[in-house]
Structure 1
Amino acid sequence: MEYRTLKDIAKITMGQSPDSSSYNKEKDGLPFFQGNADFGELYPNERIWCNEPKKVAIPGDILISVRAPIGALNYAKEKSCIGRGLAAITIKNVVERNYIFHLLRARNKYLNSKGTGSTFKAIGKNVLEEVLVPQISREEQQKCVNVIDLIESIIIERKSQIDKLDELVRARFVEMFGDVIHNDKLWEKHTVESLCKEIYGGGTPSKSHPEYYENGDIPWVSSKDMKSDVVTDSQIKINRLGLDNSTAKMVPINSVIMVIRSGILKHTLPVAINAVPITVNQDLKVFIPGEHVLTRFLAVQFKMHEKDILSGVRAVTADNIEFDSLKQRELIVPPIELQHEYVFFLEQIDKSKVEVQKALDKAQLLFDSLMQKYFG
C-alpha cells in the first residue's frame, strides 16, 4: 500500500495561548479551548472566551491534544481560539476529514511515543506532519468511516444506558432519603469520621527499588484505576516486599475508596468499593464503615455530596480535597433497615448494568479489531 503524509493533505495550525487579560466568561470574542480538559464527547465544551485570539480553528477542523494526554480528539463546531495544548487540522473534503479523524485515533500510541518533555510530554508540528495516511479511494474511506461510525453509535448507546441506570440510582436515593445537603427529611446526622471504624491513606513503595514491583500480585490502586464504582484490579501491582517497606496498607474487601488528589477533581469525585484486597497510593483515602452505615450506602452518599465536596477543592500543587474538612462533613444516617432496602435496589440495578456492560464490551472489542484492520 502507498502512503502520503498528513502535511500533504492538511493544513496544521499549532495553538498559541493568548494574553490572559483577553480571557472572559461574558462570551466576548471566540470560544477559547486550551487543551484536552475542554473536550467533550465529540465537540469541546465552551467555558472561556477570548477577545484577542492568537491562533484560530475553523468549523469542521479536527482538534487534537498535543500535550499530555497526547492524542485526544474533537471537532471544532465553530470558529474558535486554540491554546498551546491543541492543534487544528484543516481538511476540506468531509469524507477524508472523517477518515483522518479515525486514523489519528488509531495512531494514539504512536503519537504518545513521540512525546518529549520531562514534566509534560508534548508533540510538535513535525510529528503530526509526518503521520502516514494510506492512499485509498474516497469510496474506500467512506466505507471505513461508515462501519466505524455504526459500531461507535452502538457503543455510545450502551454507555447511555449505563448512565441512565446511574441516574436511576440517584433518583431512588432522593426519593427515599431526600436532599442530603439540606436533610429535608430530618434524618439523624453524624460526621464521616464518627461513622467509620478507620480512615487512612495510602503510600508508594520507592520506585528506586524495582524489586518492590517485580512479579507484583497485590493491586496498587491509583486515581487511574478509579473508573467504575467497583475496583477489582490495578494497572500497577506491588509485592509483599514493597508492602512491608512502605506506608501502603492492605485494604480489606468492601471498603470505600475515594480520590482526594487529582486533576479529575475539577469535575468528578471518584468513589468506589473494592471487591478484592488492595493497596492504594497517597492520592486516595480508605473509609472502613462502622456498624451504623452500610458500605454501599456510604459510597453512594459520598457521590450525592459530590458537587458540594468539589466546590471546596483547592489547587496547591495539585487539585485536592481538604481532608480534615471531609472527615467532619455530616452525613445522614437513616435506619439500617432502610439502608438495606436501598442496597437491595442497587443490587437489582447491578444485574442490569452487568448485561449492558457485557454488550458494551463486545461492541468495544469489535470496534478495536476494526480499527486495527482499517488503520493497522
Structure 2
Amino acid sequence: MIFNDVLEIKNGRNQRRVENPDGKYPVYGSGGIMGYADDYICSAETVIIGRKGSINNPIFVDEPFWNVDTAFGLEAKREVLIPRYLYYFCKHFDFKQLNKTVTIPSLTKSDLLKIEIKLPCLSNQQSIVHRLQSVEQIIDNYYQQLEKLDELVKARFVEMFGDPVENPHGFRKVALSELAEIKIGPFGSLLHKEDYIEGGHPLLNPSHIVGGKVVPDSKLTISDKKYDELEAYHLHTDDVVMGRRGEMGRCAVVTSEGFLCGTGSLLIRTKGEVTADYIQKTISFPSFRKTIEDMAVGQTMPNLNVPIVSKFQIIKPPIEVQKRYYEFVAQVDKSKIAVQKALDQTQLLFDSLMQKYFG
C-alpha cells in the first residue's frame, strides 16, 4: 500500500489567528511545541513530519494540536493503520531521499502520498507496537538513570564545595591565573576563509560548546599543515575551552586531542592544583555565570578577554576535600558505565527490531 491509501495529510497553517498563551491546544512545528492555541487542526495520535527544515524527525502527538505551515500532520485511517505503527515506520523511513532542494530540505505532499508501507493486519501491528514501546520504555529508563547519576554528582559538588560565589565553607579564594594558564584563541588574521576544509582538525568556538560538552562541526576544520602552524592554540585533553563572547560561562572539558581553540574562545589549562572538571563546573555554575556577565565588556555583545578571566575568583578547596569528591565521582562513573553499556545493548535491540519490521 501507499500513504495515499492509509492516511490523510493535514497541511499546517499560520498560527497567529489562534495563538493564545493560555490556549488549550499545543502549537507544533517540526522541532516540537512552539506555543499554544484556541483551536486545532490535527486530532490526537497524529504524526508530525517537517515540510521544511527538519524533515527527518517524526513526532508522535497524543492530543489534538495545531501544526504550523512548515509541518505536515499525518493522520492514520484507523480501520487499516494504527497511528503509533505509522510513527515507528516514519522513524525508520529516510525522508531525506524525497528532498529535491539544495538549500533548505523540503518535502511535498504529493511525494509523501506515494510512499510505500507494508501493512500487516491490525492485531500484528499492535503486537509490533507493543514490542517496540516496551523496548523504548527500557531505553527511557536508562536515560533517566544517567540523568539522576549526573544530578547526584552535581548535588555532591554543591555539598562539598558550596556555591562558588558565596563560598559558605570559607575556603580560600584565588585568582584563576594562579590555578591555570589562560590564552585567547587565534586572531582572525591568523585564519582565512581558504584555510577551512572538511574533515580536518575542528575549531572550537562558543557554538561548539553545548550543555558543557564539546560538539565539533566537521565542516569547520583546518588542515594538518595549518594546525601545525597554530601549535600555540592546540587544545589538549583536560584543557577547558570557554566561549569569550555571547553566552557567558559556556565552557567544556576537552576529552581528546586534535582540536584548535577558535577565535571566539579561550583556552584554560590547569596547573594541577585543581582539575579541569572543577574549573569547568565552577565557571558554569549559575551564580558564577552571573558574576561573569557583570565583569564582561561590550555594549552589544558581552565579551571576555585574558585580563578579565585571569581575575576570576576561584575557590581553592583543600586537597583532601577534592580527593573525597573525586573518589565519589569515580564510583558514580562506574555506575554510569554499567548503565551506558545496558543502554547501548538495548538500543541495538531496538534498532534491529525496527530493521526487522520496517527494513
Scaled by the length of structure 1, the TM-score of the pair is 0.74
In 2, Cα distance between the equivalents of 1:191 and 1:80? Answer: 53
Once structures 1 and 2 are overlaid, which stretch shifts more, 275-284 or 226-235? Answer: 226-235
Residues 192-231 of structure 1 aligned to structure 2 (within 5 Å): 195-201=179-185, 212-213=197-198, 216=200, 218=201
* Superposed counterparts of 1:190-339, under 5 Å: 195-201=179-185, 212-213=197-198, 216=200, 218=201, 239-244=223-228, 249-258=233-242, 271-279=252-260, 286-305=267-286, 322-324=302-304, 327=309, 331-339=314-322
Distance 1:285 1:96, change over 3 A: farther
Residues in 2 aligned to 1:365 and 1:299: alpha-carbon distance in whole angstroms: 33
Q: How does 1:31-42 map to 2 (within 5 A)?
A: 31-36=26-31, 38=32
- Aligned in 2, Cα 1:158/1:303: closer, same or farther, shift over 3 Å? farther
3-state SS of paired residue (1:168) = helix
1:365 positional shift = 1.6
Do residues 11 (structure 1) and 8 (structure 2) align?
yes
Is the Cα contact below 8 Å between 1:225 and 1:235 reproduced in 2? no
Which residue of 51, 68, 91 corresponds with 1:105? 91
CA 1:303–1:35 in 2, change beyond 3 Å: closer, same or farther? farther
Q: CA RMSD in A?
A: 4.1
Query: Is 1:136 the counterpart of 2:120 in the alignment?
Result: yes
Count of aligned pairs = 345
Sequence identity percentage: 24
In the alignment, the residues of structure 2 paired with residue 23 and residue 250 of structure 1 have an alpha-carbon distance, to the nearest angstrom, of 49
The answer to whether the Cα contact below 8 Å between 1:222 and 1:283 also exists between their aligned partners in 2 is yes
Cα deviation, 1:228-264, whole Å, max 9, x if unaligned, reads 87769985675413425789942112112456789xx
Structure number with larger C-alpha Rg: 2
Deviates more, 1:126-135 or 1:151-160: 126-135
| Alpha-carbon distance, 1:73 to partner | 2.6
- 2:37 corresponds, among 43, 50, 72, to 50
The AA in structure 2 aligned to 1:90 is E
Shift of 1:123: 2.1
Name structure 1 gaps, 5 residues minimum.
Answer: 39-43, 313-319
How far apart, CA to CA, are the structure 2 residues paired with 1:247 and 1:124?
49
TM-score, normalisation: structure 2: 0.77
The unaligned stretches of length 5 or more in structure 2 are 294-299
Say whether residues 1:73 and 2:58 are aligned partners: yes
Conserved 8 A contact 2:48-2:74: yes
Deviations 1:49-91 (A, max 9, x none): 234x6x6222211123333332223222332222233221111
